[in-house]
């Protein structure tokens, strides 16, 4: 018997050794093909890029995988406890494989053989890291063995905290969210530190199968799984029984965070920043690089800009009548679903879509568009209201077949089933005002003239309606708002604000082409000073000035100011016939406001990579001594401004002073009501297709235009002073509120001389029509009267007779001809 036992023992041992050898050979074979687990040390997952306003407000997030990488030290114990309880309660004790859990899984799978049930696994967190990072998701024993081998090796190479950190930042949670930090924001719009026990437990439920525990499609299943995780947390001693019961009683409370832009009114700015980052670093850097971008946007100024621009566009548009409903639906039955499917303007929350239920002589009965639940389902609750005839008075002039028709009753304008935009009347329950999306558009830029930082940008009435950015992308003729560039060139090259130019008819012959420019009002004023020419925006004076000094010089300054890259040297270009953008024009005016120094317009202050290292900084000024280790009574360090001097500082002040006259007495006089030191210039293009105003204080430059996307006339008499200047005024009234009224600084060495406004000559004490003018050293008012652009025979330089004003000026004391 002993010999027989020994015989069987020997056979068993031999077989065991053979099996062990076979297993060892198999494992050795599998080990040869295992991926290098050391790559985990260099783990750089795709991370969300976040864009912030200048005050730190989150503007937008961009990611293919919505992930924010969180070091394990920053993960709160409550969140760790939830995931350990749900996935691997023995994580900190096992060597990579949980033998107890593995045995239990093998037993269950043996019981389930032939039953058709899915086999259960016993993967530890370490094994899941091995699978997620290094292996496929194939459900095979070979993959499982490889996973175990890698788990042992990973445990030997990395600390438990590092492994848990990798796991918590890699796993997929559904809704496009990766990693626990991204999931907390996506599901609850919270940071991980703010999660409650119930919320942490629900997130810990999701890695098993996000779609299986969808918060809206499978809410009951999701709550059941969450409550199981809470029970595990209680059993493992992470929370008390009372805390667990309280957490289980809570609803899921999922409030998904929307994608894209988060800062109200900042959509155009955000999109421009997105394009710049892609242009600079590429799409992968934007969507995977985890960049932190601090922009120049000032949210308060942006809101002011949006409101001012929208109000101006609406005011113009409503005066042109009503163009009809958005669409038409069947309002006879349950109109809520049909209306709920009509797309509104999400970035104009003041407005709502509504369907006309009844129309009569006194007004409209309307039904408001129902809201959508977080799940996307339309709420079937009906909210009704009314629009009185007075609150839709502008629509009594409505467009029918391209013609404007006057209606007698609201019933002549809108019928039941028509879908319209309405805005709730403040302080009146159930009362609404009819609205329509304006056909006219425009763009606005607000900029710091000393740094080029763009503080606000409006690219149109609504980004939801049109993503085309009219502040940066629309190429428009600036019209008379280009004239300060021409006058700056003149002042920089020997002319003075008191130089006199002929404002009279002129004909330009170029080959076989004849051009006869005219002033906007069709009149001529005779000889007048440069100041008068820019204040009254006289085209004929500008053409003569450009002709006198040569278009080559005008082209040089236009390109030096950055208004154009290449300007054709033709005289009509002196009147702003070339096409440019609002951004370029505002940048050019910033040079004048900044004492003639060049500025580089910027939407981005700083960009940091995923590790916090600054990879881009807009401010390139040097600062010696800024990083001194200690203070030893040395003077305060100063920033060294290395900007190029584009324009003589004295010239910059002269043109600024002249444009102050535009506001005080000229085409922009409506702005004088603000009682501020503001310089600016109106602009109106041929056939009144565009209306411009660009102006500035010592610390803020704002420019805008209004016009149709497909250029057409804005109407007879539509000017920059009548359309664009009021928008500028509304903006400045609010933006400058509470700030000091700072005057423009006179450069040292300039001479201030009283001159006669009409003749440009020195004025005697007490003379009427006197104005203080700034002259550079070595220059001053003329000693004798002379007129640029007048023929030697006393003609106006175009062969015609002199105007009465010209004759009067020539006969003045000291008058003469040039």
Distance CA 779, CA 799 (A): 32
Helix (H, G, I), strand (E, B) or coil at 57: coil
Q: Which residues are catalytic?
A: 87, 480
Helices and strands per DSSP (H, E), number in the chain: 22, 27
Classify each residue of 662-700 as buried b or exposed e, where b means 16 or more C-beta atoms within 10 Å of its C-beta: bbebbbbbbbbebebbbbbbbbbbeebbbbbbbbbbbeb
Closest C-alpha to 447, from 646, 261, 591, 659? 591
Q: Which residues contact 237 (CB under 8 A, 6 or more apart)?
A: none
- The answer to whether the CB of 306 falls within 8 A of the CB of 386 is no
**What 3 state SS string does 725-782 have?**
HHHHHHHHHHHCCCCCCCCCCCCCCCEEEEEECCCCEECCCCCCCEEEEEECCCCCCE
Distance CA 97, CA 564 (A): 68
- The answer to whether the CB of 504 falls within 8 A of the CB of 540 is yes
Helix (H, G, I), strand (E, B) or coil at 787: coil
Distance CA 272, CA 773 (A): 42
Phi first, then psi: what are they for 378, rounded to 5°?
A: -80, 130
Distance CA 90, CA 69 (A): 25
Distance CA 104, CA 91 (A): 16
Distance CA 458, CA 270 (A): 11
Interstrand relation of 431-435 and 604-608 (parallel, antiparallel or unpaired): unpaired
| Cα–Cα distance list, 536 to 471, 682, 706, 720 (Å) | 26, 10, 21, 12
Distance CA 648, CA 492 (A): 7
Distance CA 360, CA 412 (A): 9
Q: Which residues contact 320 (CB under 8 A, 6 or more apart)?
A: 404, 439
């Amino acid at each position: 018997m002993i010999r027989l036992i020994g015989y069987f023992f020997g056979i068993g041992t031999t077989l065991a050794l053979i099996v062990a050898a076979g297993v060892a050979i198999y494992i050795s074979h599998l080990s040869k093909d295992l991926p290098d687990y050391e790559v985990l040390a260099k783990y750089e997952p795709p991370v969300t890029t976040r864009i912030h306003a200048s005050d730190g407000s989150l503007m937008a997030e961009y990611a293919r995988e919505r992930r924010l990488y969180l070091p394990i030290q920053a993960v709160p114990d409550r969140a760790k406890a939830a995931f350990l309880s749900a996935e691997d309660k023995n994580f900190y004790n096992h060597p990579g494989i949980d033998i107890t859990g593995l045995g239990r899984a093998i037993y269950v799978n043996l019981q389930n053989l032939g039953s058709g049930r899915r086999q259960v696994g016993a993967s530890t967190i370490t094994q899941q890291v091995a699978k997620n990072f290094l292996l496929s998701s194939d459900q095979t024993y070979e993959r499982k063995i490889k996973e175990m081998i890698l788990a042992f090796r990973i445990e030997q190479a990395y600390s438990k905290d590092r492994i848990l950190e990798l796991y918590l930042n890699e796993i997929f949670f559904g809704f496009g969210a990766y990693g626990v930090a991204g999931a907390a924001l996506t599901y609850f719009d919270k940071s991980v530190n703010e999660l409650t026990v119930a919320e942490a437990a629900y997130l810990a439920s999701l890695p098993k199968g996000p779609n299986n525990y969808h918060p809206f499609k499978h809410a009951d299943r999701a709550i059941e799984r969450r409550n199981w995780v809470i029970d595990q947390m209680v059993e493992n001693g992470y929370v008390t029984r009372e805390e667990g019961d309280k957490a289980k009683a809570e609803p899921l409370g999922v409030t998904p965070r929307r994608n894209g832009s988060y800062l109200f009114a900042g959509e155009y700015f955000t999109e421009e920043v997105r394009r710049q980052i892609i242009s600079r670093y590429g799409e992968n850097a934007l969507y995977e690089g985890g960049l932190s971008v601090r922009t120049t946007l000032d949210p308060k100024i942006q809101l002011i800009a949006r409101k001012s621009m929208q109000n101006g566009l609406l005011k113009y548009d409503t005066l042109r009548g009503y163009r009809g409903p958005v669409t038409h639906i069947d309002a006879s039955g349950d109109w809520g679903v049909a209306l709920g499917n009509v797309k509104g303007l999400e970035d104009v929350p003041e407005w709502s879509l509504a369907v006309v239920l009844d129309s009569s002589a006194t007004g409209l009965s309307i039904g408001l568009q129902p809201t959508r639940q977080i799940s996307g389902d339309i709420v079937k609750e009906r909210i009704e209201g009314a629009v009185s005839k007075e609150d839709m008075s502008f629509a009594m002039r409505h467009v029918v077949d391209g013609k404007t028709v006057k209606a007698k009753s609201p019933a002549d304008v809108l019928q039941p089933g028509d879908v319209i935009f309405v805005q709730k009347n403040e302080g009146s329950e159930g009362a609404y005002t009819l609205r329509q999306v304006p056909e006219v558009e425009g763009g606005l830029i607000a900029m710091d003239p000393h740094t080029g930082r763009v503080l606000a940008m409006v690219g149109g009435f609504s980004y939801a309606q049109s993503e085309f950015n009219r502040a940066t992308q629309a190429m428009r003729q600036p019209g008379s708002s280009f004239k300060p560039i021409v006058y700056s060139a003149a002042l920089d090259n020997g002319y003075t604000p008191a130089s006199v130019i002929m404002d009279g008819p002129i004909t330009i012959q170029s080959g076989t082409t004849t051009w006869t420019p005219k002033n906007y009002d069709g009149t001529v004023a005779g000889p007048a000073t440069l100041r008068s020419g820019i204040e009254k925006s006289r085209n004929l004076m500008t053409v003569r000035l450009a002709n006198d000094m040569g278009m080559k010089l005008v082209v040089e300054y236009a390109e030096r100011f950055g208004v154009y890259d290449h300007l054709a040297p033709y005289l009509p270009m002196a009147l702003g016939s070339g096409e440019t953008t609002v951004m370029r024009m505002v940048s050019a005016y910033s040079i004048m406001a900044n004492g003639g120094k060049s500025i580089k317009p910027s939407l981005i202050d700083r960009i940091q990579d995923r590790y916090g290292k600054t990879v881009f900084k807009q401010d390139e000024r040097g600062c010696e001594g800024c990083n001194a280790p200690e203070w030893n009574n040395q003077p305060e360090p100063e920033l060294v401004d290395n900007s190029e001097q584009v324009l003589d500082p004295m010239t910059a002040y002269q043109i600024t002073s002249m444009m102050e006259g535009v506001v005080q007495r000229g085409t922009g006089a409506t702005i004088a009501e603000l009682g501020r030191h503001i310089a600016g210039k109106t602009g109106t293009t041929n056939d009144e297709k565009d209306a411009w105003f660009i102006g500035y204080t010592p610390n803020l430059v704002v420019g805008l235009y209004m016009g149709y996307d497909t250029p057409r006339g804005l109407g007879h008499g539509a000017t920059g002073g009548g359309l664009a200047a009021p928008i500028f005024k509304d903006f400045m009234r609010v933006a400058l509120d509470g700030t000091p009224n700072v005057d423009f600084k006179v450069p040292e060495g300039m001479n201030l001389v009283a001159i006669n406004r009409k003749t440009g000559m020195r004025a005697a004490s007490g003379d009427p029509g006197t104005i203080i003018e700034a002259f550079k050293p070595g220059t001053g008012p003329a000693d004798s009267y002379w007129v640029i652009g007048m023929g030697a025979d006393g003609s106006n330089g175009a062969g015609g007779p002199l105007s009465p004003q010209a004759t009067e000026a020539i006969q003045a004391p000291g008058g003469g001809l040039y």
